[in-house]
């Protein structure tokens, strides 16, 4: 039996059910949204529901029929899931470095095979469904190959592309798909779900959801003690640099480059808190309570009071700019260095 659909995805599912009941389901969907919102689960549920022989009243798959059983076992003949394959990597330093930089992509051969499968006749007369996740890692030749199928899709097929970075897909691909964007869920829905998860292990769901900027699956992943510990170590390091201690270059070199998006995320939240505290002037309790990094309020408050607004906003702009470069792996070490140097400079005015 499958786990329940995430509660914040019910509206998206209802949309699918309505389109399907009216016979208006498109041949291709592009499901996007920030990471940590369960877009992959949504794609799989739409696929299963499309193939199910006895869907429930709300359109969801029954989980038990002759289509659902092989689907859940990963062996439905009319369904294919295309995900990136790990590159073969030899155990030397050069390939390890390459692996850090670009571990996964989807190549043209894989897309050709995926598309060829969609043209075979359906085994159960419920059409064919293919999911590509994440679709943005298709290389140019792979995307081109998919485009041919999107231009002339075989009858009765549904192709679902999942991505948190739709802009990385060629416009020709995007324009042939119906766009569905999964938004940040209502806070009350996300918190109620989070509070029920056993992996939470006593962590405060409100704090985790704040640190994850409202994304429930990211919040849940944060409940792993090691993740929170890593955040603590990074914040301590940045604060140390801000107080003109430490060496930004050696600190940058000691960071795991694969962690760069996460480090950037923590840095941005730290800066947002500093900006809020700075703006509040005399620190009042209400501001402290609303901080994302509440556990650092006593350290951040006096620090923020000594910083300059112009410098704070300058660094914030730089962080936004860096977020756009987050997928340029070759730059990662330089980006971390630059970020830490800028934090040190920010503290230098204190
Ligand atoms: Zn079923």
Q: What is the pLDDT of residues 81-113, one digit of tens each?
A: 999 986 544 444 444 444 444 458 899 999 999
What lies within 8 Å, CB to CB, of 207 at 6+ separation is 294, 295
The pLDDT of residue 349:
47
Q: Regarding predicted confidence, which is higher, 167 or 3?
A: 167
Cα angle: 343, vertex 346, 348; to 5 degrees:
110
Cα–ligand 1 centroid distance for 17 (angstroms): 15
pLDDT of residue 190: 97
CA of 59 to the centre of ligand 1 (A): 10
What is the structure's pLDDT at 220? 95
Going from the Cα of 258 to the center of ligand 1, the distance in angstroms, rounded, reads: 40
Average pLDDT over residues 325-347: 82
Q: What is the mean pLDDT of the chain?
A: 88
Instruction: Supply the pLDDT for residue 98.
Output: 44
For each of the domains in the chain, give its residue range(s) and CATH number, in order of start. Answer: 7-183 (3.40.50.300), 224-348 (1.20.272)
Asked if 301 and 273 touch (Cβ cutoff 8 Å), the reply is: no
Query: Does the predicted TM-score (pTM) go above 0.85?
Result: no
- How far is the centre of ligand 1, averaged over its atoms, from the C-alpha of 49 (Å)? 7
Distance 41 CA to ligand 1 centre (A): 16
What are the tens digits of pLDDT across the range 260-291? 888 988 999 999 999 999 888 766 766 766 88
CB 53 within 8 A of CB 65: yes
CA of 69 to the centre of ligand 1 (A): 7
* Strand, coil or helix: 162: strand
How far is ligand 1, taken at its centre, from the CA of residue 47, in Å? 11
The Cα–Cα gap between 45 and 2 comes to 9
How do residues 200-232 score in pLDDT, each as one tens digit?
A: 888 899 999 999 999 999 999 999 888 888 999
Largest CA distance in the chain: 70
**In this predicted structure, what is the pLDDT of residue 260?**
85
* Percent of the chain residues past pLDDT 70, beyond the cut: 90
Tokens of 284: 């009042």
Task: Calculate how far, in angstroms, residue 123's C-alpha sits from the geometric centre of ligand 1.
Answer: 15
- The pLDDT of residue 259: 86
Taking the centre of ligand 1 as the mean of its atom positions, its distance from the CA of residue 23, in whole angstroms, is: 19
């Amino acid at each position: 039996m499958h786990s329940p659909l995430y509660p914040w995805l019910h509206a998206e599912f209802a949309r699918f059910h309505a389109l399907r009941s009216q016979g208006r389901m498109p041949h291709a969907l592009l499901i996007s949204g920030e990471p940590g919102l369960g877009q992959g689960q949504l794609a799989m549920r739409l696929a299963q529901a499309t193939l199910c022989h006895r869907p429930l009243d709300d359109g969801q798959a029954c989980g038990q029929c002759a289509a659902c059983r092989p689907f859940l076992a990963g062996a439905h003949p009319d369904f294919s899931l295309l995900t990136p394959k790990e590159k073969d990597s030899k155990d030397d330093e050069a390939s390890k470095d390459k692996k850090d930089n670009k571990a996964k992509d989807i190549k043209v051969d894989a897309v050709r095979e995926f598309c060829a499968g969609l043209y075979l006749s359906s085994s159960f007369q419920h059409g064919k469904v293919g999911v590509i996740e994440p679709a943005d890692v298709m290389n140019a030749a792979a995307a081109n190959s998919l485009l041919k199928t999107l231009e002339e899709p075989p009858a009765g097929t549904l192709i679902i592309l999942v991505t948190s970075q739709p802009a990385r897909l060629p416009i020709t691909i995007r324009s042939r798909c119906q766009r569905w964007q999964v938004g940040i869920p209502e806070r009350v829905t996300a918190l109620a779900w989070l509070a029920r998860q056993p992996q939470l292990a006593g962590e405060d769901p409100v704090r985790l959801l704040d640190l994850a900027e409202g994304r429930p699956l990211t919040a849940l992943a944060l409940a792993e003690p090691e993740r929170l510990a890593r955040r603590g170590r990074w914040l301590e390091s940045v604060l140390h640099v801000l107080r003109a201690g430490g060496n930004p270059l050696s600190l940058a070199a000691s960071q795991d480059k694969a962690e760069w998006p996460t480090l950037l995320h923590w840095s941005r939240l730290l800066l947002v808190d500093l900006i809020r505290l700075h703006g509040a002037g005399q620190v009042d309790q209400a501001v402290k309570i609303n901080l994302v990094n509440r556990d650092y309020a006593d350290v951040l408050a006096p620090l923020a009071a000594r910083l300059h607004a112009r410098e704070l906003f300058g660094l914030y702009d730089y962080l936004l700019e860096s977020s756009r470069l987050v997928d340029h792996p070759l730059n990662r070490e330089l980006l971390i260095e630059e970020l830490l140097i800028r934090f040190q400079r920010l503290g230098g005015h204190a």
